[in-house]
Structure formats: C-alpha cells, structure tokens
Amino acid sequence: MTAIGYVTKQENGGYKGQLKTLSVRADIAIVPNQ
C-alpha cells in the first residue's frame, strides 16, 4: 500500500508534514494535548 502522508517528529512531541492524495494536498500537524 502506498503512503498518503509523510510527517517528521517535532521537539514538542508532535508531528508536522503533508497529506497527499489525487485530489487533496494539505499541510498537517499532530500536536500533543497540553
């Protein structure tokens, strides 16, 4: 199965990257609850 997104781990424990499909290209961020 092909990956639809790639992220890199940030210093604060979250992740930042990009989600790509045929019709969508979006920057994403997954952040920890504070």
Model confidence over 1-34: pLDDT tens digits? 889 999 999 999 999 999 999 999 999 999 999 7
Q: Which residue has the tokens 């499909």?
A: 21
Bridge partner list, 27: 18
Instruction: Parse the chain into domains and list their residue ranges.
Output: 1-34
Radius of gyration of the chain (CA): 11
| pLDDT score for 34 | 76
Among 33, 26, 34, smallest CA distance to 5 is for 26
User: What's the pLDDT score for residue 2?
Assistant: 86
